[in-house]
Amino acid sequence: MPLDACVGGDRTWTVRENSPLFTARLKPLYQRAQTLGAAVVAKYRAGQDAAAEMKELDGINRQIKSIDQVTMDVCGNSTSVEVAALAPKVPSLLSGVAAHKAPADVCGGGVPACYVLVYGDWNTAHLNASSGYYDFRFVHPAASPHLENIVIRLTGSDDRIQEMLKAADWARVNGALGGPNGPS
Residue 8: the pLDDT is 75
Q: Which residues of the chain have pLDDT under 50?
A: 179-184
Helix (H, G, I), strand (E, B) or coil at 5: coil
Residue 183: the pLDDT is 41
Instruction: Report how far residue 115's alpha carbon sits from residue 133's, in angstroms, rounded to the nearest whole number.
Output: 16
Task: Sheet containing 7-14: give its strands across.
Answer: 7-14, 69-76, 149-156, 114-120, 98-101
pTM score: 0.80
Residue 36: the pLDDT is 95
